[in-house]
Amino acid sequence: MRRYETIFIAPVELPDNEMNDLVERFEAIITGRQGIVVKRENWGKRKLAYEIKKQNRGYYTLLDYVAKSEVVTELERNLRIDDKVLKYMTVKKADKVDLDQIEKELAASKEPPQVEPPVMIQTADAQKSTEIEAGTPQSQSATPDTEGVPAEDAEGGNQ
């Protein structure tokens, strides 16, 4: 068995329930042929580098799995014939896979992440305590908060 990653792009106007059904169908193809889905990452809606089928934005999804080459052939066949998939790409990550290591990865991904308690720091200029997450870098810039705002809007680009 080998380890693969498949990334595919679906149109953004696809409803969430249809997108979930699409991903679950592709996962079923993998697991139905004795493959193991290690990880599923929904990267969300992003701007495409170039227009694909008259679409400028797409919903990206990554599937990381362990399977035989026949599974990849069948998965790519289904990706190719599905009208809801704009583009896809499969990459072989490893020729040989240790199944014990894969089981450890699966067990680690199902455990809740360890969250450290907030750390109190003393700011020099305001002489007040501020709560920050441990390991989070702190910015000293005086720019306005633009988190969650698309890059074009944050920079004051064309509307």
HEC per residue, the chain = CEEEEEEEEEECCCCHHHHHHHHHHHHHHHHHCCCEEEEEEEEEEEEEEEEECCEEEEEEEEEEEEECHHHHHHHHHHHHHCCCCCEEEEEEEECCCCHHHHHHHHHHHHCCCCCCCCEEEECCCCCCEEEECCCCCCCCCCCCCCCCCCHHHHCCCCC
Residue 117 lies in a domain: no
Residue 129 lies in a domain: no
Q: What is the pTM of this model?
A: 0.65
Q: Is residue 47 part of a domain?
A: yes
- Per-residue pLDDT 10s for the chain (159 aa) are 999 999 999 999 999 999 999 999 999 999 999 999 999 999 999 999 999 999 999 999 999 999 999 999 999 999 999 999 999 999 999 998 888 888 888 888 776 555 555 555 555 555 544 454 445 455 454 444 555 555 555 555 554
The answer to whether residue 70 sits within a structural domain is yes
Classify residue 138: in a domain, yes or no.
no
Count structural domains, the chain: 1
Whether residue 146 lies inside any domain: the answer is: no
In a domain, residue 61? The reply is yes
Here the CATH number for the domain that contains residue 42 is 3.30.70.60
- Structural domain that includes position 7: 2-110
